[in-house]
Every structure is written in structure tokens, then in C-alpha cells.
Structure 1
Amino acid sequence: MYPKHAASMPQKVMLVLMETAILFVAGWLLLGNGGQMVHDLVGKGFLKGNTERNSMLFVLYLVVYTRMFLTIFYLLKREMPWKEALTIPFAFSFYYVGFSLFALNTEQPLVWWDFLLVLLFLVGSFLNTFSELQRHRWKKDPVNRGKLFTGGLFRFSMHINYFGDLVWVTALALLTRSGFALFIPLLLFFLFVFYNIPLLDRHLAWKYGSQFTHYRKTTSKFIPFIY
């Protein structure tokens, strides 16, 4: 896994175009007449929701979109296969479109609890992006070539970036005020634990050997101080 370094510019451009289109659909649902059109087709729920809640969700989507742009064009150095470029936007459609549809089923106004969830979203976004930036800066130093990065936020969890993803996705789910929306972060949790993390761990064990063995014995795998 991840053995090659390549620009993969066509794949990255396609990913951004697809994700931009999905973001526009989310904006149409939350801020346009998309909710009413879905309501006309389905016949139940899916109206306008709460205007302030919808606007807040869309602003947070823009934060996710900006972070995605930073990741793929600045932080990502490995090759991106076409399969990955085409499946990532599909996954993000669960966030942009899925959470938007759930939010359209509630007209509850924003309260103090929702602003705490925005803070939780920002914490998760920070854990994901800042940890990646720390690793990126460390790897740029030639002295660290061939070494495994275990510092920064990664000293609290081997996959602190994945944990950050889980945190901000959970915050978005709770902001929709729909219990069904929690199935999305739950699915993400199982995807990380049973697929992404084992796959990446096998690669790290192959690449770093004893460095990774020691790191795995002394550091939480996913959730800091717990698991």
C-alpha cells in the first residue's frame, strides 16, 4: 500500500470536480429549493428545515472542502489510483448530501448545544489536518528519511488523523438532529477499524519494521488513551 510517489494530477482534478458538484447539490438542498423538490417526490419530510442550521452545516461543508483541497494538492505525495479518485467523492456524498437530507427533516432552531457541536467539529478538523501538517513538515527534513514519524499529535494515537475524521463527522451527524444520521459515523468507525487501519498497519510494518513494532506497543491505535 502507498509504495509510489506521483503527482496523479488528472485523478486529483477529477476528484475535486466531482466533489465540487456534490457540494453544489448540498447547497441546493440546504439553501435553495432542493428540499421542496425532494419533498414533492417523496411526499414526507424534506422541506426547508431550519435556515440557520442549514447555513451552519453548509459553512462547515466548506471547511471540509477546503481541508480536502489542502490535503490532495499539498500533503498527498503518494500515487492516487483512479479507483480511489472516483470512490472518495462517493464517500463524501454521504456527508454533504446525506447529512443535508437528514437536516431537512427538522425545524428545530439552533441552541447552545449546537455551538458546542461546531466546536467539536473544529477539534476533529484540527486533529486531522494539523497532525498531517506536522508529519509533512517532519518528513521534509532529509535527516528523517526512512524514519517513522511518531511525534506531534501522533504520539497520542497511531492514527490520530483518522480519529479526527471520526470526530468531525460525528459532530455533523449530531448537528442534523436526526438519530439516523449517526449511522454514518458508525459506519466510518467500522471502516477505519476493520479496513483502513489494518491495511495501513501492514504497510507500515513492512516499511518500518522494528520502529513500527515499538510504536504499536507503546501508542493507542485509534482513540487516544482508550484504543
Structure 2
Amino acid sequence: MDNAQYQDMGSGATFRRTARESTIRANMFAIECAAVLILYWYFLQSYVSWKRCSLLLLFGIVYMARLNIMARWLLPRELAMEELTVVIAWIACILSSISIGAACRGEISFLQFWLALVLYSFGSWLNSWSELQRKWWKAKPENKGRCYTLGLFAWSRNINYFGDVILFAGWEAYLSERYKSEWPGYVSSTKSFIPFVC
């Protein structure tokens, strides 16, 4: 995506190149995340079994905390308006779909609980640790303007997004159980992530 597609922040610079001057937008993002998390919790505790509700609420809290750490500390730039509007709407849609799906299920089994927790934790670690490694490396003056290719990014150019895929796999591990008769055929005939590839 070229710089012309990014929103002008008022000084002629694009948001990706605009250094943060205040925490106003990060604070707005935190308030939006808290509101979405409160609605998520309200739905979960009203319609979802206690054990499943506790696990999904924990996942929601950790996810929102990670997003806010990213917005406030890991990103040295100002947040764009798209990140204050589209991103929060996208997050609300994700949490809504998860909570609606969870409301259709009964109690989570011991194995499902631990599998979801392990996948979620591993995916969160991949995403967060890779971003931290990159931030620490980029903070060194000799690395300014250079591409980070070390640490976890030596294994994948998008290891942070791969982490998100794994953590959401843990968050939505109920599909194969819910659709026992249809799931095996669907898995064998449909790619899991990239159409026609994998």
C-alpha cells in the first residue's frame, strides 16, 4: 500500500510517519476496548456456561490488553482514525461471533478447555514476543530504517499474524465438536486459510 492511501494527519505527513504527540487517541482506543469488553462479558455471563464463560472472558481480557499495549507502547506512531473506528468495529464483530457461537454450546470438556488455553497462549506469545523483539531491535540507532529479519521473524515474515491465527484457533475450537457429521467432509474439501493453497 503506498503512502498516498494513508490518511493525512494535518501536517502533510501520513499517520505511519507521524510521531505520537499525545496519548489522546490511545486513551480513546482503550475506552472503546473497555466498552466492547464489558458488552462481551455481559453477553457471556448471561448466555454461556460458567467454565466456557470464564475461559472466553480471560481470552477477551488478554486480547484487549495486548491490543492496548500495542497501541500505547509498541507503536511509536500516532493511531489513525481507521484504527479508532474500523478496528474497534472489527474487534466487536469478532467477539460477538465468538460469544454467539459459545452460547450455542453446552459445557466445555476438560480436553477442550486445556487445548483452547494452550493454543491461545502459544498464539498470544508468538504475536507479542515477535513484536517485542522487533521493537527492541528497531530502538537501536544503528537499525533505524532497516528491515527486521531476526528472532521469530527469521522463521516467517508474518509470524505475528500467524500467532493471531493460532490464538483464534484456540478461541473457536468448538466447530469440529458442534458439527461432528459435517466437519470431516468440510475439512477434506476446503482449505483452512488461503483459498486453493493451504
TM, length-normalised to structure 1 = 0.68
Ranges in structure 1 where 5+ consecutive residues have no aligned partner: 34-47, 180-188, 194-225
Any residues of structure 2 matched to 1:1-227 within 5 Å, and which? 1=3, 2-7=16-21, 9-31=23-45, 33=46, 48-175=47-174
Q: Distance in 1 between matches of 2:139 and 2:104?
A: 47
In structure 2, stretches of 5+ residues that fail to align are 4-15, 180-192
Q: Call closer, same or farther: CA 1:135–1:27 in 2, change over 3 Å.
A: same
For residues 94 and 178 of structure 2, what CA distance do their matches in structure 1 show?
13
Distance 1:7 1:167 in 2: 34
Ranges of 4+ aligned residues in structure 1 off by more than 6 Å: none
Q: Cα offset for 1:143?
A: 1.6
Equivalent pairs counted in the alignment come to: 171
Identity of aligned residues (%): 27
Using a 3 Å threshold, how does the CA distance of structure 1 residues 105 and 3 change in structure 2: closer, same or farther?
same
2: distance between equivalents of 1:30 and 1:113?
18
Q: Name the aligned partner's letter for residue 25 of structure 1.
A: L
Q: 1:75 & 1:61 partners in 2: Cα distance?
A: 20
Q: Is the 8 A contact 2:51 2:107 kept in 1?
A: no
State the distance in 1 between where 2:26 and 2:108 align.
38
* TM superposition shift of 1:178: 5.2
Q: Aligned in 2, Cα 1:8/1:110: closer, same or farther, shift over 3 Å? A: farther
Give SS of 1:174's match: coil
Structure 1 residue 7 displacement after superposition:
4.0
Q: Partners in 2 of 1:67 and 1:178 — Cα distance?
A: 29
Secondary structure at 2:173 match in 1: helix
Change (3 A) 1:80 1:106: same
Quickly say closer, same or farther: Cα 1:68–1:110, change in 2 above 3 A: same
Change (3 A) 1:7 1:168: farther
1:161 CA drift (Å): 0.7
In the alignment, the residues of structure 2 paired with residue 178 and residue 3 of structure 1 have an alpha-carbon distance, to the nearest angstrom, of 46
Q: Is the 8 A contact 1:120 1:168 kept in 2?
A: yes
8 A contact 1:122–1:168 mirrored in 2 = yes
